[in-house]
Amino acid sequence: MSLTAQQIQAGTGCTAALAAKWQPYLHPACALFSIDSPKRLAAFLAQIGHETGRLVYVREIWGPTAAQSRYEGRKDLGNIYPGDGKRFLGRGLIQTTGRTNYQGTRDGLFGLMMTVPDFEASPAELEKPEWAALSAAWYWHSRNLNTLADAGDFEGITRTINGGLNGYADRQALYKAGMLALL
């Protein structure tokens, strides 16, 4: 299924200009990871739309907030060195967070393509459109979220991505708009 800029705009809530900017990166990334049905695409677009403030932010806005301060020293995120919390803040369209997730993204994508940046050594590479889109689609694939999308388990998808239900109503509204555009 092809993914148009109009469908991206509806599913993420972004502007037409941002949808046109992201379409050349999102379409092949989704195709590579079989995010290829209306349910899958609508769920994926809704999640990245919410996570990035409508495809505006490919880098987490750093305060640091109380939650962000807790990134520092979190062994479950692989943040074992001083400064890792800020260095491995959320980046990309799914907001990849933590040294371990940067490593996993690099290694997962390297298994599929010849040239992949070392996101651990150069974290800002995840902010570039190609890698922002591919990292989000790879994350989706690596967490088997197509299966949840096929089953209509949008809450399960949100919990996997967010760890909870932060912004759930917004994500649901984007999903519904995406479904209308994709059918």
Of the candidates 93, 170, 91, 104, the one whose C-alpha atom is nearest the C-alpha of residue 143 is 104
Write the secondary structure of 134-168 as one string of H (helix), E (strand) and C (coil). HHHHHHHHHCCHHHHHHCCCHHHHHHHHHCCCCCH
Can you give the C-alpha Rg of the chain in angstroms?
Answer: 15
Contacts of 84 by beta carbon, 8 Å cutoff, 6+ apart: 71, 72, 73, 77, 78, 98, 99
**Prediction pTM value:** 0.96
Tell me the domain boundaries of the chain.
5-182
Which pLDDT belongs to residue 161? 95
- CA–CA distances in Å: residue 54 to residues 2, 83, 174: 20, 28, 10
CATH 1.10.530.10 assigned to 5-182: yes
- Averages of pLDDT over runs of 10 residues in the chain (183 residues) are 95 98 98 98 98 98 94 96 97 97 97 93 98 98 98 98 95 98 95
Which pLDDT belongs to residue 122? 98
